[in-house]
Structure 1
Amino acid sequence: MSTRARILLVEDDRALVELLVYHLAREEYEIDSTADGEEALLRAREAAPDLVILDWMIEGVSGIEVCRRLRRTPETALVPIIMLTARGEEADRIRGLETGADDYVTKPFSPRELVARVGALLRRARPALAGEHLGYGDLEMDLVAHKVKRGGETVSLGPTEFRLLRHFLERPGRVFSRERLLDAVWGHDSDIELRTVDVHIRRLRKAINAGGRPDVIRTVRSAGYALDSDGAA
């Protein structure tokens, strides 16, 4: 499974899009771009990105409304969002941040600065991009040695459970539907049935919750699963 971050770029200035795609691709990010707000929401629902770069003034649905809807959707509620805008007034910046943006960049800006901000947000949201270890609470994963520990004790996982846990650890708190997990862990061309996801979630829970440890995998009714401290038994 690739650890390359997927970035959804929502911007209608073609020259700026080309410039940003060039600089982001140099950092080996995967970039999906669109100039339309409705299209951006559709793509985010189909496959949640790891980060969104969102222009305030875009075609169709405004950037502010796109940001608001992304925050209201479980699958994208925790996706980092950087807002781009020519609006430099303090009131506008505050409005963007209050709507749910994580960062705010006023045009014109340096592409290198934006790339640096992207990297900083991704390192906080997706630790796998910053090193060889993942962690959440007392859970630890060594990506090189292919080992998992909880509370310092080794946890034995099968290959599929390891990939599932890695996916959760890379994006803690985010809710994933069974379809999304199937695509991420088994692959887009998999013929595996959706209920197989539930089987492996149960196996993963049994392994990491052994000894009566608190459950850190939360079941979200009619939505899917998430890794967080409010897990359901």
Structure 2
Amino acid sequence: MTPRTVDHCDPPPPGWTYLDREQIDEAWSRFRAAFGALRPGLHADAWPAITEPAPSVTFDPRFDATAVPAIWAARMEAINAETVRCLLGIADPSEVVVLDWQHPGYRLDLSEHASAPDAVWRVPVHPDGDYYTFVLPDFSEGTFGHPWEQSLCVFGPRLVGTLAVTLSTWLPVLRVDGRTQQDNPLLVDDPPPVRRPARRFFEGFTEAGPHFAHRMRQRGDAGCSDASGA
């Protein structure tokens, strides 16, 4: 399972640096400018918790951890690792801002974190208990995890063209550009529920236009270019 540390004002793990109060205030101001005010909520009438931008793809990473704990742990590690891999392809320098609602914020040096012999996450990308944001300093590309909806929004043209493509090969898609199947032309399909395997989701594009993964790649720029999603 992904190693975690709990914040009790102890030194953060390699690659993680606390944001000071001024930096935290600035980061949350940028967050609100990009996504609106955070709308925390336990129930579906409060979801999504942000105004999901375009382009973006929101995934359902849920899995019953009590059924096969090893699979749940592997899925969590895969999401965390793939996000770092793709962010490293676009972050220059290799730093992102990490926000954890009502908790300290961090600046994460992705290179130092990924190179650490025993990499430890202060907070993960996978939403396992709070609202987590991993984002470039200009808030143009990143991820937002919702702990109660159990969703992960991937946003920004380059991440949509890379990270969203690889995740969509095995995670169900909830929304594209903040819109669900019912009101999004990218989600034209026969009647199956919104939370569905990505492969069936892709097959729905055979009549509506090019393959979904190809369309997602087309919307993104180069970067993390080996993420073919095929």
Same fold (TM over 0.5): no
Structure with bigger strand share is: 1
TM-score relative to the length of structure 1: 0.28
TM-score relative to the length of structure 2: 0.28
Structure with bigger helix share is: 1
Structure scoring higher RCO (CA < 8 A, sep ≥ 6) equals 2
